[in-house]
Amino acid sequence: MENKIVLELSNVDMRFGGVLALDNVSFQVHEGSLTGIIGPNGAGKTTVYNIISGVYSPTSGGVRFYGRDITALRAYQINRLGIARTFQNLRLFARSSALENVMTAAQNRCREERPAEGYFYGFVESALHLGRWGSVERKLRQTAMGLLDRVGLADRAEQAAGTLPYGMQRRLEIARALALGPKLLMLDEPAAGMNPEEVFALNDLITGIHKDFNLTTLVIEHHMDLIMRICPHIICLNFGAKIAEGTKDDIQNDPEVLAAYLGGDDAEDGEAV
């Protein structure tokens, strides 16, 4: 049903000194899909994100985005191609207001590597507050307010991001990532630290965003249930290697996945881990 390949990792290795954090990982993400990446703690999920988004460059292997090799690009360049992400341990601008956080992203809203028309003005316009400054600032504010409203934070717009409750900070990060107008959204443990009620609301938020913006989305979680509920396609990592990929049913019945999560019978597997 899905067509174009948005993201393709091929044979990615990532080595930190003596530790092999990713071992020959390959997968593809199709346009419009909602893909989950699961795996126990330390499986290498966040490392995958850091490689895609350019925080690290892989020891070997390649990453392609819409067919273009982005392995060697720097983080800001990759971002400008249209990849936005959130962070497992929040990276909001804590002293800035929620609105400012989202506006900061919105001003870099992308259209093929450059800030999109209507979201940009130049240095002289900045210094003199003339020209496009007024209209663009208004538009940035509108866009940001719209997104804050979408994630249910409109009434907290003026509050410093660092003083928001934890669950709201997670949603603020999602709004900030969306403000970039990405083609690929990568959420890193969006449910971490949330209570069951909040997780339930997050379900709806993620599936809603995926549908409304028709946005290719990747979600990392180690809470199996969230992923199982929302992601039609799932990739499972363990000890840096991809051990399974497929639909919810494939994953749930995969012996290696069960072993990774429940602890397999070592003698039977012949693996001493």
Partner 1 sequence: MKKSLFINAGIIALSLGLAFYPLGGYQEGIVILLCINCVAAMGVSILTGFTGIFTLGHAAYMALGAYTTAILTVRYGVHWLPALLAGGLIAILVAWLIGVPTLRLTGDYYAIASIGLGEAIRLILENWQSFTRGARGFPGIDPYTTRGLAVAMFAVLTILMFNLLDSRLGRELRASRDDDVAASLLGFNTPHSRMKALLISAFYCGIAGGLLGGYMSFIQPSMFDMMKSTELTAVVVFGGLGSMTGTLLGSAAITLIMEYFRDISQYRMLIYGLLLVVIMVFRPEGLLGNREIWDFLPHRSGTHSFGKGRRS
Q: Which residues bind partner 1 (CB under 8 A)?
A: 53-55, 74-76, 79-80, 84-85, 87, 91-100, 103-105, 107-108, 110, 120-121, 123, 125-129, 133-134, 136-138, 158-163, 176, 180
Please report how close the Cβ of residue 98 comes to partner 1 at its closest, in angstroms. Answer: 7
Q: Minimum CB separation from partner 1 for residue 107, in Å?
A: 5
Nearest CB to partner 1, comparing residues 147 and 260 = 147
Alpha-carbon span 251 to 199, nearest angstrom = 21
Nearer to partner 1, 108 or 238 (CB): 108
Please name the amino acid found at residue 94: A
- CB nearer to partner 1: give 59 or 159: 159
Looking at the Cβ atoms of 156 and 242, the one nearer to partner 1 is 156
Dihedral angle sign, alpha carbons of residues 250, 253, 255, 259: positive
What is the closest distance, in whole angstroms, from the C-beta atom of residue 97 to partner 1 in the complex?
3
Which of 87, 213 has the CB closer to partner 1?
87
CA pseudo-torsion sign 112, 59, 11, 261: negative
10 Å Cβ neighbour count for 90? Answer: 18
**Would you say 27 or 121 has its CB closer to partner 1?**
121
| CB 11, min distance to partner 1, A | 25
| CB contact at 8 A, 187 and 152 | no
Pairwise CA distance, residues 152 & 209, whole Å: 13
Least distance in angstroms from the C-beta of 108 to partner 1: 4
| Pairwise CA distance, residues 25 & 31, whole Å | 20
Both tokens of 43, joined, read: 């499986």
Minimal distance in Å, beta carbon 4 to partner 1? 23
CB atoms within 10 A of CB 96: 15
Report the sign of the C-alpha dihedral through residues 268, 243, 50, 185, in that order. negative
